[in-house]
Amino acid sequence: MLSYRHAFHAGNHADVLKHLVLVLTLEYYLRKDKPFWYIDTHAGSGLYQLRSAAAQKTREFAQGIQILWEAPNVPDELQSYLQQIRSLNASTTLNHYPGSPWLAANLLRNADQLRLFELHPSDFSALNQNLGDDKRVHLSKQDGLKGLLGLLPPITRRAVTLIDPSYELKTDYNDVISTLSKAYQRFATGTYLLWYPVIERQRVKQMAATLQQTGIAGILQLEYCPLADSIGMGMTGSGLFVINPPWLLAGQMQSLLPWLNQQMAQGNGHFTVAYITPEKNTGSKG
């Protein structure tokens, strides 16, 4: 249950998609002076060494962030995300990669707050070491799916929530949607980013169908797969279902994903930018 360690996968193609969408979303929220919360249900350790034994064993970053690190003529929409990574690496060599909590902490203002959940003892200890001294950060050694509902609605009435479990347990697929539906009932104006792996296409279709049954309007699906769908090959891609997306996000990703696919595809890469439920309005006002 606690065997998953993100250090083996840091900086892979799934991280690129997830963290790019996260940075674009947070930057949109930062356009307003009003403070907001960032909530991370599965925070991990917050920071990763790409020269560690774990990262070097799989070298998944080589088909992810390493490609963008070396790419010329990077689109403008990618610059802020890449700048966060450059700020971690003093030289031209890519040695460090940030997790979502580090990215959020680096972007948020003094008045904003971070609520971070992590259950794995080693990762929680590392997270505390990396971000525990930040007065804006509140850490909980707890299952974030159980802890999230107790935070809603936030006192700021503005929040971005990232839900990205490892999906080690088959029940995670149903649990995330059940939690998301309950969270939306408590706090319908927040932005929720629900990450998912593409391992079996039927599971992704089932997640989308279940989300459609919740009655939540304007759910945006963003997906990128550098490999063609294939049973038995492990994770061939990943995606996010975004509730109350910033109104710019769909257009930004429609522009970025073809470029990312050109850089990172390993064969028949493919991507999706589509609303799986009808839009109620143009998106989150943040």
Q: Which of 123, 133, 164, 172 is catalytic?
A: 164
Is 123 marked active-site? no
Contact assessment for residue 129 and residue 157, using Cβ atoms and an 8 Å cutoff = no
Rounded to whole angstroms, how far apart are CA atoms 209 and 215? 11
The neighbouring-strand residues paired with 117 are: 140
Q: What phi and psi values does residue 213 have, to the nearest 5 degrees?
A: -75, -15
Residue 42 is assigned to a ligand binding site: yes
Per DSSP, 262 falls in state H
Residue 100 is assigned to a ligand binding site: yes
Rounded to whole angstroms, how far apart are CA atoms 85 and 69? 9
Residue 118 is assigned to a ligand binding site: yes
Residue 13 is assigned to a ligand binding site: no
Angle, alpha carbons 269-28-248 (nearest 5°): 50
Rounded to whole angstroms, how far apart are CA atoms 78 and 85? 11
Residue 19 is assigned to a ligand binding site: yes
User: What order of strands is seen across the sheet that includes strand 270-275?
Assistant: 137-140, 113-117, 37-40, 159-163, 191-198, 237-243, 220-225, 270-275
CA dihedral 162, 167, 238, 210 (to 10 degrees): -80
Residue ranges of the annotated binding site for S-adenosyl-L-methionine are 19, 42, 100, 118, 143-144, 164
Q: Which residues are catalytic?
A: 164
Residue ranges of the annotated binding site are 19, 42, 100, 118, 143-144, 164
